[in-house]
């Protein structure tokens, strides 16, 4: 599994779709303040920086300060030794386990689909399993509304992802789709209230570029979501177990997923970088916040785009495929 980084310009820690997962522990957004252009603001180390004359050094210091705050938040997450009620029962290394799992390979002894539970896991009374057909217009509408109203959001319950129906189909209908991995939970009246997905993935495992690297068929797990009013029903762990069972039935025994919190146990981490295109609007609506030593005028200057682009971008054409493939493969080595 990989840990999903939080964006560096957003003042909100993104909590998971289900409060059965650990919270991010992100600090609450700071109140935004503005200063007229030409006034002074405290810079790094307490120095006063004229907002109308931001230097490259001052801009660099601000970016460094943002990065340091992010790194400290993630360090605190990794040092959290609290028990993980669900993940401590799963075949994943503990966060602070030492010496037992070295090298590359499966944690569990090899199994076959015959060893897997043949019937779906039991759900609380009043709910039933379904396989979601995202190619059906009515069902993709149900998925869209469930995610829009209940999926990843900030700590203030103000902002959520708004994935379009077209994007969801693109993400969930690969050429080698296994429809049984698009798992839903419905009420007895048919309302979709839980969702988790898996799509096939072919992952290279082993030292970078080494001869020991092997390609493993896995599942990429995504879009775990439970309706807000049902968070006390403990549906999230059952959804995870059920999609695991369905993946195992196809003779696949590993999966990858991302999380905005540190769960046992990351094999990789990444960080998302975003650029605010309209800092004034983002601050006014509460999506972003101004740091303790940044005025609105400074933020606008910091994220201002150049008058002319430095590079020429164009859509990839068929004649470019060979060069693009070589560049990408070289970059990913």
Structural domains in the chain, CATH included, are: 1-13+25-97+270-333 (no CATH), 111-252 (3.40.630.30)
Q: How far apart are CA 298 and CA 35, in angstroms?
A: 9
Q: Residue 14: pLDDT band by 50, 70, 90 thresholds?
A: very low
User: Minimum mean pLDDT among 82-91, 185-194, 252-261: which range?
Assistant: 82-91
Buried b (16+ CB within 10 A) or exposed e, 114-144: eebeeeeeebeeebebbebebeeeebbebbb
Q: Are 68 and 271 in contact (CB under 8 A)?
A: no
* Residue-wise pLDDT tens digits, 112-148: 999 999 999 999 999 999 999 999 999 999 999 999 9
Helix (H, G, I), strand (E, B) or coil at 66: helix
Closest CA to 195 of 151, 246, 138, 259: 151
* Residue-wise pLDDT tens digits, 93-111: 777 666 555 667 787 878 9
Peptide bond preceding 276 in cis form (omega within 30 of 0): no
* Residue-wise pLDDT tens digits, 162-171: 999 999 999 9
Helix (H, G, I), strand (E, B) or coil at 240: helix
- 117: phi then psi, degrees, rounded to nearest 5: -55, 125
Q: Which residues pair with 195 in a beta bridge?
A: 184, 225
Q: Is 300 exposed, middle or buried (0-12, 13-18, 19+ CB in 10 A)?
A: middle
**For position 30, what pLDDT does the model report?**
29
């Amino acid at each position: 599994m990989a840990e999903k980084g939080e964006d560096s310009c957003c003042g909100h820690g993104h909590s998971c779709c289900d409060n059965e997962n650990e919270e991010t522990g992100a600090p609450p957004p700071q109140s935004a303040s503005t200063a007229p252009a030409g006034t002074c603001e405290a810079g790094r180390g307490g120095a006063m920086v004229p907002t109308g004359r931001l230097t490259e050094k001052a801009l660099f210091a601000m970016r460094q300060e943002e990065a340091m705050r992010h790194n400290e938040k993630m360090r605190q997450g990794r040092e959290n030794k609290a028990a993980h009620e669900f993940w401590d029962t799963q075949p994943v290394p503990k966060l602070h386990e030492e010496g037992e799992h070295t090298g590359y390979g499966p944690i569990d002894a090899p199994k076959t689909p015959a060893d897997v539970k043949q019937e779906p896991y039991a759900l609380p009374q009043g709910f039933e399993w379904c396989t979601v057909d995202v190619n059906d217009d009515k069902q993709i509408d149900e998925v869209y509304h469930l995610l829009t109203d209940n999926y990843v959001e900030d700590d203030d319950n103000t902002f959520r992802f708004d994935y379009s129906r077209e994007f969801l189909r693109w993400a969930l209908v690969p050429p080698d789709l296994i429809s049984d991995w698009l798992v839903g939970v419905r009420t007895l009246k048919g309302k979709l209230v839980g969702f988790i997905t898996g799509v096939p993935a072919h992952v290279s495992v082993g030292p970078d570029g080494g001869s020991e690297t092997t390609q493993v068929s896995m599942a990429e797990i995504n879009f775990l979501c439970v309706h807000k009013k049902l968070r006390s029903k403990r549906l999230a762990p059952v959804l995870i177990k059920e999609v695991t069972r369905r993946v195992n039935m196809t003779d696949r025994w590993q999966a990858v997923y991302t999380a905005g919190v540190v769960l046992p146990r990351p094999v990789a981490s990444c960080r998302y970088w975003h650029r605010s295109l309209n800092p004034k609007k983002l601050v006014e609506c509460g999506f972003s916040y101004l740091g303790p030593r940044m005025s609105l005028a400074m933020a606008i200057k910091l994220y201002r785009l150049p008058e002319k682009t430095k590079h020429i971008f164009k859509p990839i054409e068929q004649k470019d495929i060979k060069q693009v493939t070589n560049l990408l493969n070289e970059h990913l080595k």
